[in-house]
Amino acid sequence: SDEDFANYIKNMFREMAPGYRFIVGMGDNLPFDGDINRVRRVVELIDQYGKLPIEV
């Protein structure tokens, strides 16, 4: 579910806090069975929670 996915990403932010030595990135392509909406959702979550210092 989207809620599970968002919680997974937020937990990732908690683990890497305060975030000064972590880069979130994606390779040059999306897997064949990948969901572009998940990529967009990660961008939204980074915009919402990824400001330094990270405090989720």
pLDDT tens for the chain, residues 1 to 56: 999 999 999 999 999 999 888 888 877 788 889 888 998 999 999 999 888 888 88
In a domain, residue 20? The reply is: yes
In a domain, residue 36? The reply is: yes
In a domain, residue 54? The reply is: no
In a domain, residue 43? The reply is: yes
- 3-class secondary structure, 38: helix
In a domain, residue 18? The reply is: yes
- Structural domain for 37, as ranges: 2-49
In a domain, residue 55? The reply is: no
Counting Cβ atoms within 10 Å, is residue 13 exposed (0-12), middle (13-18) or buried (19+)? buried
In a domain, residue 6? The reply is: yes
Number of domains in the chain: 1
The length of the chain, given as a count of residues: 56
pTM, entire model = 0.76
